[in-house]
Amino acid sequence: MDNGASSYRRYLDGDDNGLSEIVGDHKDGLILYLNQFVNNFCVAEELTEDTFFRLITKKPKFSGKSSFKSWLYAIGRNVAVDYIRHNSKIMNTPIEEMDNYISDGKSLEQAYITEESKKVLHSALAKLTPDYRRVLWLVYFEDFSNHEVAVVMKKNDRQIKNLLYRAKKALKSELDKEGFIYENL
């Protein structure tokens, strides 16, 4: 499975259905991944739209050195980093309103996560550092290989292996604090 590479080639050749397939296959996962950067689902949705807009307007070349999905997520990561850089300079939202944005994102997230064990796991993930959350998310929720995660996070394979080890250890510690019974962690 090429994770969207053939759909992207079809889109570049003029078949708009190829882009529709890419959006349909990757939109939800990309929103959840980008939410790790901004902690706001509405903004994450906008960043996802911007990522797909970048595919439409700039039509970047997919070289095939990584999977299409990791390449797409790397573009999304770059869009999120650009957004954070830009907004850190012009941030003028009062801190009281920021709590409302964060609580809105959490309420949407709670609706998405229905089982109690998933809630505990998600709570423990939220307490981890951003890099730990991202590496665990990409490996276990998005089924990325360590090499694909390295491409997305702009690190080498060894750094990802070490980061994943430390992230799992930190997650296990958080889950122990909450009395969570876990398997294979």
Rounded to the nearest integer, the mean pLDDT of the chain is 82
Name the residue range of residue 18's domain.
1-112
Do residues 26 and 5 touch, judged by C-beta distance below 8 A? no
- pLDDT over 50 (residue 63): yes
Q: Residue 184 domain-assigned? A: no
**Is the model more confident about 21 or about 100?**
21
Rounded to whole angstroms, the Cα distance separating 115 from 124 reads: 15
Residue 78 and residue 5 share a domain: yes
Identify the pLDDT of residue 15. Answer: 87
Q: Residue 143: which region, alpha, beta or left (left: phi > 0; alpha: psi -120 to 50)? A: left
Residues 131 and 146 in one domain: yes
Is the pLDDT confidence value at 149 over 80? Answer: yes
22-31 mean pLDDT: 92
Sorted by sequence, the CB contacts under 8 Å of residue 44 that are 6+ apart come out as 31, 32, 34, 35, 37, 38
At which of 91, 112, 133 does a domain end?
112
140 and 96 share one domain: no
Domain boundary among 61, 92, 112: 112
Over residues 54-75, the mean pLDDT reads: 89
User: Do 97 and 131 fall within a single domain?
Assistant: no
**Claim to verify: residue 163 and residue 100 sit in the same structural domain:** no
Position 167 pLDDT exceeds 90: yes
- On whether both 9 and 100 belong to a single domain, the answer is yes
CATH of the domain at 148: 1.10.10.10
Domain closes at, from 85, 112, 139: 112
Higher per-residue confidence, 99 vs 151: 151
Do residue 97 and residue 14 come from a single domain? yes
> Please, which pLDDT band fits residue 106 given cuts at 50, 70 and 90?
low
Domain count, the chain: 2
- Do 98 and 144 contact (CB within 8 A), yes or no? no
Same-domain pairing of 40 and 127: no
